[in-house]
Amino acid sequence: MFAQDPRSGLVIDKTEEIILRASSGAVLIDVPNIVGLESVEAENQLRLAGFDPVIQELTDPNIELGRVISQSVSAGEQRPAGASITIIVSLGLGQVAVPELIGLDVTEARVALARADLQDVQAEEIFSEAFEPGVVVLIDPPAGTMLERESVVILTVSKGPEILIIPGLEAIGSTDPAVVEARLQADGFVTRIEIVELPFEDENDGQVVELRPSPGEEAFPGTEILVLVGDALDEPPTTTTSSTTTTTQATTTTVATTTTSSTTTTSSTTTTTTTTTDGG
């Protein structure tokens, strides 16, 4: 009994009728069957039925992650509105954190994933100046992410720095400086223009005449390519005739002639021969 009329304490005639009101108890509601449902859907059904769901989690390799394993009150039983119903939700094989793999050799990374009960897929190889070939540069999902055991982690591995071939003007298809610069920059190079002087009316005036380093050489992205652009003279060079004056200096040589007077004295020697005749 929860009420009466007239209320207690009043003085009434003993023949007057007293009305008593008795409670029929709490309203009972049938508990729905939520086993096997996704946890979110199970919660919604319990709330719509008028119950208060309480979630607990349990590792179960036989039940898919996130699905209801059991409920504390069997389906079809009755409980008052607002009663708490506990549901056990599967964690599947159990969750593990993705280990830090960036910077590891791909073989070492795979060993680390296997130890964590995770699988790996090598998605692709990319060029990287920061990492040696064969080293993990990216992982998806990132390190620290909680995954169900045996989930897949995608590895991206370095191919090392990219090696580019410097294209020639023939391959570029133009000697126009703007076109040449645009192509080189699109290939990953840095360009710098330098003007070189050309003869008067040279056909390469205003055009690229040379690339340095030379086309065909290997280079890393970001290498500076010197683009030499010709600049022909505005007028032909002036020819200057050089006049040479030769001065001949006359030299007069005076020859002094000295006449020496020689006196030759001839001595005349007279020889006298005396002949003696012997008379006998």
In the chain, which segments carry CATH 3.30.10.20?
A: 3-90, 95-158, 164-232
Tokens linked to 232: 């022909």
DSSP E strand stretches across 189-275? 190-198, 208-212, 218-219, 224-232
CATH fold of 3-90: Trypsin Inhibitor V; Chain A (3.30.10)
Domain 164-232 has CATH 3.30.10.20: yes
pTM: 0.46
Q: pLDDT by residue (tens digit) across 102-132?
A: 999 999 999 999 999 999 888 889 999 899 9
pLDDT in tens, 172-231: 999 999 999 999 999 999 999 999 999 998 999 999 999 999 999 999 888 999 999 999
CA-closest candidate to residue 104, choices 143, 147, 141: 143
Helices (H), 31-134: 39-49, 106-115
Q: Would the pLDDT of 168 be above 80?
A: yes
The Cα 197–Cα 233 span in angstroms is 7
Residue with tokens 């003696």: 276
Question: What are 83-104's pLDDT values in tens digits?
Answer: 999 999 998 888 899 999 999 9
Q: What CATH number was assigned to the domain covering residues 95-158?
A: 3.30.10.20
Predicted local distance difference test score (pLDDT) of residue 21: 64
